[in-house]
Structure 1
């Protein structure tokens, strides 16, 4: 991270667990002041305790438009927004999907990201950036992944459009493959067996870890020439 002037302030929505928390840790390790937000008070408190220092934590429901607006009013000016919020990947055949769960999936992973960008933009300092989270399903869908493929493709389209609309602010996304986090606990019946099997089919012979994912986000935050970029980090899944 570039700290040539004032200390950078990084906001991570979804920053209390998994990839988001790893991003918050990495940003803090590079000298940034970090604000993490999620919908669970217990996770917020624990994340702030683990991060230490000047870290702040705020409870936020990204499905609540008014709450998002109030959140950014509360935190004021900052430098970088990272959006990693999202629940289970919801891997189901089309015939088994309900309208309610499908809308809820998009609510947090796409609409929450779009509205976070809307309310964050007036608060971002010159040289600031927004980094969204996409996934390998955007380009390599699988049976039962219609929602995942749709929402990640939508996020990537949003990334490119906002990179033009919000310039010179930078807007990017990280397209992730399988990363070992607690998210899999609510996605597949046997997370360890799934991750071992999936990893064995990759060129790198394993799935990724949150720290490796966080490094991709920090690259996009710190590289002032990167905008409209979708950075793939998938262990070679696109080649397998």
Structure 2
């Protein structure tokens, strides 16, 4: 019979209670308020090109979405990121599946191609892309795909290795064709890994995109940063950085985080 202590009843020993959720949020809000106050005070003591006031940065952020010229660059960056994530995810998935089912190709993919892509820097891919393809959107997408592809390859490989062998054997025993078993058993089991992969790739893509557009693109927020740097338009630099922080945070909390939790809850038991 389970005792009250084991069940966590009145006689259970309890450790020191940690800070409540409200307390943690209050500390985080206070930290942000202190940083904002320090920014306001410091911006009044130095030239605007060194540290622009928050009002100027806010106006520059609004211009990113409200000004047609800046909105075109924002749209170009979003297009670069969306296309690159799609290509890298599909490419990594294909390579992971090929290496899993055609075992003779696994050493070439996982021991040669994967480490090579992981070790090669984003700036290196950008410079090679400029040499090979010139300054263009293709160069930007090429660079981002080269950096993101290893994330998809490694994560989906782990998902394939974590497949429930008993579930697959049961599917074969019920006469499932290989294609049907892949669609009905393997793909659902990979969904939690796919959601986690997309979540990681989205955050990394923003970092790589700015560098790729800065050196190898003629459009995008990286190009905007390059022009702002030449013009000492620090407010625009801060605005782009702040916009990316807000965009990545909101996407992570509202889209990718819930998607990952939902797929893990619904399909995680199959992996």
Structure 2 length-normalised TM: 0.27
- Give the greater-gyration-radius structure (CA): 2
Q: Which has the higher contact order (CA 8 A, sep 6+)?
A: 2
Higher strand residue share: 1
Higher helix residue share: 2
